[in-house]
Structure 1
Amino acid sequence: MKRIIMHIDMDAFFASIEQNRKPWLRGKPVGVTGNPDGRSVIATASYEARAFGVK
């Protein structure tokens, strides 16, 4: 059997999911982090957030 490996890069995926699930976030800058209780880093940012320099 031939092995096939596929990589799919879904840019801003988790931010887009949140904007889809929560309509009031659409068109607003959104950043998704890992730990809401402590210090964390941005896992993904929406295109609106990236316009402000969020990476």
Structure 2
Amino acid sequence: MADRYKNDILLCDLDAFFASVEQRDNPAYRGRPVIVGGSAERRGVVS
């Protein structure tokens, strides 16, 4: 009966994933801060 209330949590940090892929594909970006944006038509904010 105790298993009925068991919770599992999964965290997927996709922001870090895309930055890691960009650094993998572009060696010049390795070890540097990276911002990966989306569509040019949409607005983004970086702070």
Scaled to the shorter chain, the TM-score interval is 0.5 to 0.7
Counting aligned pairs with the same residue, the percent is: 46
Unaligned runs of 5+ in 2: 1-9
Report the alpha carbon displacement of residue 19 of structure 1 after superposing the two structures with TM.
0.1
> 1:39, 1:9 → 2: CA distance?
23
Aligned-residue CA RMSD (Å): 2.5
More strand by share: 1
Query: What's the TM-score once normalised by structure 1's chain length?
Result: 0.49
Query: What's the TM-score once normalised by structure 2's chain length?
Result: 0.56
Q: Which has the higher contact order (CA 8 A, sep 6+)?
A: 1
* 1:20/1:26 contact within 8 Å kept: yes
Larger radius of gyration: 2
Report the alpha carbon displacement of residue 20 of structure 1 after superposing the two structures with TM.
0.3
Size of the aligned set, in residue pairs, is 39
Query: Corresponding residue for 2:24?
Result: 20
Unaligned runs of 5+ in 1: 1-6, 43-53
Displacement over 6 Å in runs of 4+: none
